[in-house]
Amino acid sequence: MLLLGIAVVHVVGIGWGLPASDGWDVDGVSPRDFLPGVLKTLTPGDHFTYPPLHLLLLTVLTLPVTLVALARAPSLAQHDVIQAFLQVPVMTTFALVARIVSLLMSLAIVVAIGNLARAVFGPRARPWAMAIAGVEVAGTYYAHTTNLDIPALFWASYALLGLVEAVKADEPRRLRRVAVLAACAIATKDQAYAIFLISFPVVLGAWALERRRSGTLPELLRETMWLAGIGVALVLFLDGALFNPTGFAARVRFLTGPASQDFAQYSKDWPGRIAAFRDAASFLPQHYPVALAPVFTLGVAFAIGRTKGRDRIAALVPLLAILSFTLAFNCVARRVEERFMLPQMQLLAVYGGGAIGVLLDLAPVARQRALSWMIRIGAAACVLSGLHMSTVVIATMLGDARYDAEAYMREHVKPGDVIEVYGSNVYLPRFPQDAVVQRIGPGPTSSRNPMPDIVEKQDQLGAVAARAPRWIVVSSGYAWRFLRVEGKEGGGHMLPESQRASLADADATHHMRTLFAGNAGYAVAHIAHYAGHPPLLPPHPLHASLACDVWIFERR
């Protein structure tokens, strides 16, 4: 029943922004990217942003739809194939399949968190850990999307569970299975490496000290070598290093260069890294009710104070994974956002459930019934508060401002009206079919992700007077980068290079600021805005995908 309740939370709103020929989840891999990603990975010298494991899984699951789309294409020429795939039924099916996979993996993560809590703290901890993980805000949001954060954590959580079980059972041979699971996590999203980079060596080192006392160290050393060998070989194979070495090398350069450094929020020095660590440590209120902070702390204290030997090593595996990801990713990539705190926040649920389970064990119902019920009521209140936070996210999805923008355009845009739009597909609402929609940008149209019925034009945004569209539609999710006057700088914080590059585009920056100031020959006709229902259900911005206004301007 508990898992069914969490499934309901994670499934409501699964059709957000659909049906459509693209999705609204920023950085999602479906419906557009998983097939090209597989092809790029297999093409010698080429590469894709993400590793191919999950992309291959989605390719296999959607193969029947792919074959039907290919069969319906007028020819196998690139243009005809692309147009066949861009049809709304095909793209919507791709998106839904990927979202359902994310949903199922999110539930599997909740189960893994519960099993970790049970392994460390006993059976009473399991349902509470599952309940806490099930209402964590980022887990709820990404269960609705096609981002790779949930799939990567799915594999990583079971790798950590396998490690805990191996340590507790003192069975080093189980490390081979752990290696496969960890490799699958990294081959799903590269940043998963950070979950294991520090935690695995520390755990294995502590386990080796325990085994040295019993004289059985050689077996563990041998299996540790197998762990490293299997893990590295499998990652290199799945990532394409063996059959596309030049493409793999190019992707590594891309990941360590513009893919990460252009978006860094903190300076590349010790003040920047310290600021990133400090902000990561204080990010809890974005994911959980603050009341859970002492519960998590108590769980960690129980994990240390009530265990010894291998049991203590196993009990600290989730905590070490939390520290490992924070130090090896947040402080290296210098980014702290909801998706980059998802592993830590999900793993904290192990200790939250553990604290509640231990307290219930210490207050047997038969002798201290009142105290036991107080613990249950307090724990339930924390979970319900977390459920409210997740409900706010779901409500923001269901009330997305783009729905309001679409309703306004259906009522006010006349057949043949020209609508000018800017920015990537993920920021755009769906447009009336009888309107003429043109997307303007200074870059070549060949580099854009095509949208059916949208005319791509290469032009300066500031030349709007010559184009003279009747309407201009722009999302704040795109426009903010030109409207932002200053960012948080100093004390280790910095303006990301990508933000500086946007502001360096003088034409686009001037046009956006002039447009929003009402001085570009256009007046605000409508602002599509989700206000929510404060204070119960306020809007919740997240990943530049939620709570973004859509501004509709009309020519004066």
Any domain includes 142: yes
Q: Are residues 236 and 262 located together in one domain of the fold? A: yes
Any domain includes 28: no
Q: Are residues 374 and 452 located together in one domain of the fold? A: no
Any domain includes 52: no
Any domain includes 18: no
Any domain includes 492: yes
Q: Are residues 264 and 230 located together in one domain of the fold? A: yes
Q: Are residues 393 and 414 located together in one domain of the fold? A: no
Of the candidates 438, 423, 379, 430, the residue with the CA atom closest to the CA atom of residue 407? 430
List the end-to-end C-alpha distance of the chain, in Å, as a whole number: 58
Q: Are residues 123 and 261 located together in one domain of the fold? A: yes
Q: Are residues 439 and 313 located together in one domain of the fold? A: no
Domain end (from 398, 419, 446): 398
Helix locations, 122-174, DSSP H: 125-134, 137-142, 149-169
Domain end (from 344, 377, 398): 398
Domain end (from 370, 398, 426): 398
Is the model's pTM score more than 0.85? yes
In the structure encoding, which two tokens stand for residue 35, read together? 């097939």
Any domain includes 294: yes
Q: Are residues 416 and 405 located together in one domain of the fold? A: yes
CA distances 83 to 18, 34, 48, 448, 457, Å, are: 19, 17, 22, 14, 18
Pairing label, strands 550-555, 471-475: antiparallel
Any domain includes 79: no
Return per-residue pLDDT of the chain as tens, 556 residues: 899 999 999 999 999 999 999 999 999 999 999 999 999 999 999 999 999 999 999 999 999 999 999 999 999 998 899 999 999 999 999 999 999 999 999 999 999 999 999 999 999 999 999 999 999 999 999 999 999 999 999 999 999 999 999 999 999 999 999 999 999 999 999 999 999 999 999 999 999 999 887 778 999 999 999 999 999 999 999 998 989 999 999 999 998 888 888 899 999 999 999 999 999 999 999 999 999 999 999 999 999 999 999 999 999 999 999 999 999 999 999 999 999 999 999 999 999 999 999 999 887 755 677 888 899 999 999 999 999 999 999 999 999 999 999 999 999 999 999 999 999 999 999 999 999 999 999 999 998 999 998 999 999 999 999 999 999 999 999 999 999 766 667 789 999 998 898 999 999 999 999 999 999 999 999 999 999 999 999 999 999 999 999 999 999 9
CB 264 within 8 A of CB 322: no
Residues 6+ apart with CB under 8 A from 281: 326
Q: Are residues 359 and 407 located together in one domain of the fold? A: no
Q: Are residues 544 and 485 located together in one domain of the fold? A: yes
Domain of 147, in residue numbers: 97-398
Any domain includes 550: yes
Residue 441 pairs in a beta bridge with 458
Q: Are residues 457 and 355 located together in one domain of the fold? A: no
Looking up residue 530, the CATH number of its domain turns out to be 3.40.50
Pairing label, strands 471-475, 454-458: unpaired
The total domain count for the chain is 2
How far apart are alpha carbons 397 and 541 in whole angstroms?
10
CB 543 within 8 A of CB 26: yes
Q: Are residues 294 and 149 located together in one domain of the fold? A: yes
Q: Are residues 346 and 405 located together in one domain of the fold? A: no
